[in-house]
Structure 1
Amino acid sequence: MRFPPRFLFPFSVCLLALFLGTGIPAGAAPPAGAALPAGVSKRLFKPRYIKKRLLKVADWQLAHPKHALTDWTNGAFYAGVFAAYEATQSPKILDSLMAMGERNRWLPAPKFGHADDIAISQTYLNLYRLKKDRRMIQATIDTVAKLRRLATNPEKEKHGITWWWCDALFMAPPLLTKMSVTLNDPSYFTFSDSLYHQTYERLYHKEQHLFARDARYLATAEGEGKRKAYEANGQLVFWSRGNGWVIGGLALLLNELPADHPRRGFYVTLFQQMSAKLAELQQPDGLWRGSLLDPAAYPGGEGSGSGFDCFAMAWGINHGLLDRARYLPVVQKAWAGLNGLVSAEGRVGWVQPIGGDPRRNFNAESYEVYGAGAYLLAGSEVIKLAQ
């Protein structure tokens, strides 16, 4: 086929502080028990306001880098930065994107077999579409070609499948799908689809409609893994950001995959199943907790997983895959909750640090570049709801 060109921390007090001037700083941990205040969120959905917030968050995070520019964390961040550029058309943001690519010499990170190391190339492809400069994507093409030529790779040799952790479904499939469309070569998506299904069959819980982070968190795990698989309340561990990676990646993938593609139905169904489950698990403050099925055990609404969820569901509404009447309130509460996590200077707080499972050691001061990226992705779709 040819491709066509144990505490709950609702954000209520933070939000009231932000909009009603109570003097409590945005990002402070609010008390438990309050529902979303009525009548305070209308301003949040005005396009002018959203653009200002996107620029503030992007500016702050660009000024406070934390990792190598080719790192997977920046793969997620710059996906959000590019989305913010599309929403705002800011020349400053575009200059920052181009400067990142030039500093990287348009190279992915060195481990060709690891999905994390090609995540930054999503942004290279996006910029190539604007500039049509082949050097922006040639190293990515060469890296993916090396992976495709090999019958196996270090990841598969060690874990049995190439994309053995659910995060990989954000890092690589959207890129490979984008390459298929951009280069008019369906073989990239065919390759991605085969690896995606290996991960789906290994990690997707078909009753819960959620992904385990990796095989250590499966109910069938043995030994230490068996202990890791369950929360204190007896529920399986389903990591919030891990599932945010997946559903966010699905939105990015579906945004590229042609409407008439024979494999599209699988991804649409998966997207809708996960959206329905995540909507059920949203907490009263509009956010999601670090462990989806044991929210009472984890402090604070977690910013990065919540940002990816908000982005994906807003995208689903905007593209007719999710029922607006059902999901719009979910997105509205999520966007309001996310804005309660943003400090006055533009730092997205309450972001769980790097790690492969739910962790409790984060607070209003905790930030990561992918938390900002998730916020920027969310805002880039929320702004379209009014339009």
Structure 2
Amino acid sequence: MKTRIQRRISCLLLLALTLGATAQTKVDYCQPEYVRSVLNKVAKWQLDNPKRRAPNDWTNAVFFTGLYAAWEVTQSSFMYGAMMENGKSTNWSPYKRFFHADDIAISSTYIDLYLIEKKQKMLQPMIDTLARFVKEPYPVKGIEQIKYWWADALFMAPPVLVKLGQLIDRPDYLKYNDELYRQAYEMLYNKEEHLFARDLNFTIKNDRTDLFEANGKPLFWSRGNGWVIAGLARMLKELPSDYPERPFYENLFRQMAARLVEIQREDGLWSSGLLDISAYPNGEVSGSGLICYGLVYGINSGLLKGKKFKRAACKAWKGLTNCVSDEGRVNYVQGAGDRPSNRDFSDNTELYGTGAFLLAGSEIFKMK
């Protein structure tokens, strides 16, 4: 029979062995069931903690884009129900401005749901709005009728034009999108850095110090470039394989992906400002989630080949999941803006950050 001391020693040894085994257990962040559980947790938290925003504004548009992608891989009924309720609450209408990319972004989710439900009332308000978007000029002075004048627009509008053009057999919508995209590319894309300026205010060549990082390099916003590469992924997903302009979009996608992998942080994320990591205390989730989504789509579609992309994608996903609270709150999200910020985002969340996270996870789920 063991003495009390012997029993205590045995218990301590068992505890030590258990703790040692636990310490050695590694979470497989890319394992499908783990990804599914995280997607469900994050989506549920966000739906249970809504923001006071218009249900069809751009922040909700990005969230529901991510929610639909998450539903595709999880088939969670609460996600589908939430998307349907949101669409009904807006009468399936885009937001206020027919001419503004942000305000038609919600229509992407309407199209996705229409393809399942097949109810014309889910499509008609968008058809009417897109007809005006294509025909009428941008009614704001100084924009010179350029409708994709800022990087965010390349996520918000192109997938809608391409998807609707394909759906209702309007190839002119795809061609119009090509025209607008080329304008933005010529204005905003830096062909040396393979990154996009956020808008024309960040391309002016003069002595403005706010256009440069502390290390002297040009200012490139993480979320701005996240919008672009994620938007490219969403558009390439819809474009026919033999579409004449597809090689342009694919080459741009590969250039950006290669550059973004080069400047990834050790924690797996990307800084709010891309070219001066030391100036920013932590990674930023909305830009990082969008970039991660783009990279993993590239891997899954065969556009990106090589171990470096998969390593970067897995590293990014691990970094993103480390920013999620136990309850499912996605933290480290920069607030709405147009440029990098070096404030601490650790206690900040936004709908579009959650949407970016869900997009990234939906592709990670499918990665082999």
| CA distance in 1: counterparts of 2:343 and 2:107, whole angstroms | 31
Map 1:90-105; keep pairs closer than 5 Å. 90-105=76-91
* Aligned with residue 203 of structure 1, among 175, 180, 188: 188
State the shift of 1:90 in Å: 1.0
Q: CA deviation at 1:219?
A: 4.6
Equivalent in the alignment of 1:303: 285
Are 1:158 and 2:142 matched, yes or no?
yes
TM-score, with length taken from structure 2: 0.91
Cross-structure match for 1:149: 135
Structure 2 residue 156 is matched with structure 1 residue 190: no
Cα gap change, 1:251 to 1:132, in 2 (>3 Å): same
* CA drift at 1:233: 1.2
Deviates more, 1:270-279 or 1:64-73: 64-73
Q: Which residue of 2 aligns with 1:3?
A: none
Residues 134 and 324 of structure 1: CA distance in aligned 2, closer, same or farther (over 3 Å): farther
Write the mapping of 1:219-230 to structure 2, written as runs, cut at 5 A.
219-220=204-205, 222=206, 226-230=208-212
In 1: Cα distance, 2:22 partner to 2:229 partner: 35
Structure 1 residue aligned with 2:164: 179
For 2:265, the equivalent position in structure 1 comes to 283
Task: Indicate which of 303, 326, 329 corresponds to 1:347.
Answer: 329
Contact 1:76/1:374 (8 A) holds in 2: yes
Q: Deviations over 1:236-263 (max 9, x none)?
A: 0000000000000000000000111111
Identical-pair percentage: 47
Aligned position for 1:58: 43
Q: In structure 2, what residue type is equivalent to 1:64?
A: N
Q: Which of these residues, 71, 82, 101, is aligned with residue 57 of structure 2?
A: 71
Cross-structure match for 1:83: 69
Question: For residues 325 and 275 of structure 1, what CA distance do their matches in structure 2 show?
Answer: 13
Q: Kindly tell me: are residues 235 and 39 of structure 1, through their superposed partners in 2, closer, same or farther at Cα, counting changes over 3 Å?
A: farther
> Counterparts in 2 of 1:107-146, with a 5 A limit?
107-146=93-132
- Give 1 or 2 for the bigger CA radius of gyration: 2
Please tell me the root mean square deviation across aligned C-alpha atoms, in Å: 1.6
Report the Cα offset of residue 227 of structure 1.
Answer: 2.9
Matches of 1:196 and 1:140 in 2, distance apart? 21
Unaligned runs of 5+ in 1: 1-19, 23-37
Match of 2:13 in 1: none
Q: Any idea what SS the aligned residue of 2:64 has?
A: helix
Q: Tell whether 2:350 aligns with 1:368.
A: yes
Paired residues of 1:306 and 1:334 also in contact (CA < 8 A): yes
Match of 2:216 among 230, 234, 249: 234
CA distance in 1, matches of 2:204, 2:253: 23
Task: For CA contacts below 8 A with separation 6 or more, give which structure has more relative contact order.
Answer: 1
- Please identify, of 352-361 and 243-252, the stretch whose mean Cα deviation from structure 2 is larger: 352-361
**AA of the residue aligned to 2:32:** P
How far has the Cα of 1:362 moved from its partner?
Answer: 3.6
Select between 125-134 and 272-281 the one with higher mean Cα deviation. 125-134
| CA distances 1:93-146 after superposition (whole Å, capped 9, x unpaired) | 101110000001101111111100001111001101111111112111111111
Look up the SS of the partner of 1:45 in the other structure. Answer: coil
* Aligned twin of 1:384: 366
- Paired amino acid for 2:172: S
Instruction: Report how far residue 360 of structure 1 moved.
Output: 2.3
The CA distance in 1 between the partners of 2:68 and 2:48, in whole Å, is 16
- The whole-number CA distance in structure 2 between the counterparts of 1:241 and 1:207 is 19
Cα separation, 1, equivalents of 2:308 and 2:214: 32
Alignment-derived partner of residue 25 in structure 1? none
TM-score by length of 1: 0.87
Distance 1:159 1:294 in 2: 31
- SS of aligned partner of 1:179: helix
Q: Structure 1: how far apart are the matches of 2:330 and 2:113?
A: 25
Distance 1:62 1:307, change over 3 A: same
User: Using the alignment, how far apart are the partners of 1:52 and 1:210 within structure 2?
Assistant: 34
Number of aligned residues: 346
